[in-house]
């Protein structure tokens, strides 16, 4: 097994040009150690065990790692993944309400250049019960599933609109994500577009500069509206939450008046 899509699989997807149906996923936070000053400095997991099954020439996620998905006799569903040389179990039951945080938004340009949409409004409230446990499981889910979303170059659309501060990720979240995302995926990221940026998210990114590489910071772009976003990205398959649409409507009205 390998973490990347095989050449035969990629050729099959190019022939069919179907939208890659991937699991909705999310990232999390927790304390981590180590400096993150450059792309080449980090040691990241390069041997994620991710399996693909094929239905009608469309790749879909299946069991991951040696254990795969399974219950424990109590009605809870667990998924076993291998990150680096360590085995982790993901509590799929607890993250079920938050799986819309990350979706596949289609492709741009030529080939399999994926658009990954991150809707921060779907993150759990930091005041909810078992918040750290939920975020840890979401984090493991995204790290083990991102390979299914990305075959070549890709971009991330971060929908910041309509997100209360208590749902916004902090510096420790950014640091952990940057540390754990496999090196190829960091380098293949061509653009991180932040829609409806708030002063808070701008401040968080500014404070994050010491542990995020200059190359990565140069990939960040800000757009003030969904109309501006549509000038950059094909929006046909991009799923926009209703609350973000309302935020965009209010923003446009305020700008007119």
- What CATH code is carried by the domain that includes residue 112? 3.40.525.10
Angstrom distance (rounded) from CA 247 to CA 14? 36
- Flag whether 74 is in a domain: no
- pLDDT at 32 > cutoff 70: no
- Flag whether 30 is in a domain: no
Instruction: Select from 57, 60, 62 the least CA-distant residue to 13.
Output: 57
In the predicted model, what is the mean pLDDT of residues 84-106?
89
| Dihedral pair phi/psi, residue 25, rounded to 5° | -140, 175
Predicted confidence at residue 176, as pLDDT, reads 79
CA 165 to chain centre: 19
Q: Cβ atoms within 10 A of the Cβ of 137, count?
A: 23
Sign of CA dihedral 176, 181, 185, 186: positive
What is the token pair recorded at 127?
Answer: 């005041």
- For residues 123 and 30, which has the higher predicted lDDT (pLDDT)? 123
* Tokens 């299946």, residue located: 62
Confidence of residue 150 (pLDDT cuts 50, 70, 90): confident
Q: Beta strand pairing status for 189-195 and 154-159?
A: parallel
- pLDDT at 255 > cutoff 80: no
- Flag whether 175 is in a domain: yes
- Flag whether 192 is in a domain: yes
Sign of CA dihedral 248, 127, 180, 37: positive
**Residue 18 carries which DSSP code?**
P
- Flag whether 35 is in a domain: no
- Flag whether 204 is in a domain: yes
- pLDDT tens digits, one per residue of 161-187: 999 989 987 778 778 778 877 788 888
Q: Cβ atoms within 10 A of the Cβ of 230, count?
A: 12
Domain that holds residue 169: 91-254
- pLDDT at 47 > cutoff 70: no
Predicted confidence at residue 160, as pLDDT, reads 95
Confidence of residue 152 (pLDDT cuts 50, 70, 90): confident
Predicted confidence at residue 27, as pLDDT, reads 39
What is the token pair recorded at 156?
Answer: 């991330």
- Which secondary structure element, helix H or strand E, spans residue 7, and what is its range? helix 7-16
Instruction: Select from 146, 185, 140 the least CA-distant residue to 50.
Output: 146
* Tokens 């658009």, residue located: 115
- Flag whether 194 is in a domain: yes
Q: Please report, for the chain, how many H helices and E strands are present, in that order.
A: 9, 10
- Number of folded domains in the chain? 1
Confidence of residue 40 (pLDDT cuts 50, 70, 90): very low
Predicted confidence at residue 70, as pLDDT, reads 66
Confidence of residue 68 (pLDDT cuts 50, 70, 90): low
Tell me the CB-side half-sphere exposure of residue 147, using CA atoms within 13 A: 27
Share of the chain above pLDDT 70, in %: 68
pTM > 0.85: no
Predicted confidence at residue 226, as pLDDT, reads 96
Angstrom distance (rounded) from CA 196 to CA 159? 7
- Flag whether 57 is in a domain: no
Confidence of residue 1 (pLDDT cuts 50, 70, 90): very low
- pLDDT at 57 > cutoff 50: no
**Which of 71-80, 146-155, 203-212, 224-233 has the lowest average pLDDT?**
71-80
């Amino acid at each position: 097994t390998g973490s990347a899509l095989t050449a035969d699989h990629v050729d099959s997807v190019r022939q069919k040009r179907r939208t890659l149906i991937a699991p909705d996923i999310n990232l999390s936070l927790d304390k981590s150690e180590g400096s993150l000053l450059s792309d080449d400095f980090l040691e990241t997991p390069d041997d994620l065990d991710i399996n693909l099954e094929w239905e009608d020439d469309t790749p879909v996620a299946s069991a991951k790692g040696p254990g795969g998905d399974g219950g424990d006799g109590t009605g809870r569903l667990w998924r076993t993944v291998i990150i680096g040389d360590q085995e982790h179990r993901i509590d799929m039951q607890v993250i079920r309400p938050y799986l819309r945080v990350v979706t596949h938004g289609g492709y741009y340009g030529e080939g399999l250049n994926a658009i990954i949409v991150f809707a921060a409004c779907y993150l759990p409230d930091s005041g909810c019960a078992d918040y750290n446990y939920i975020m840890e499981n979401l984090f493991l889910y995204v790290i083990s599933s991102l390979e299914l979303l990305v075959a070549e170059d890709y971009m991330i659309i971060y929908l910041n609109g309509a997100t209360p501060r208590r749902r916004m990720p902090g510096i420790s979240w950014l640091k952990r994500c940057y540390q754990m995302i496999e090196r190829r995926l960091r380098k293949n990221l061509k653009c991180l577009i932040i829609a409806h940026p708030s002063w808070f998210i701008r401040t968080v990114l500014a404070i994050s500069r010491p542990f995020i590489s200059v190359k990565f910071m140069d990939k960040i772009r800000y757009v003030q509206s969904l109309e501006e976003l549509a000038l950059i990205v094909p929006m046909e398959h991009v799923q926009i939450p209703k609350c973000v649409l309302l935020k965009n409507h209010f923003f446009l009205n305020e700008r007119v008046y």
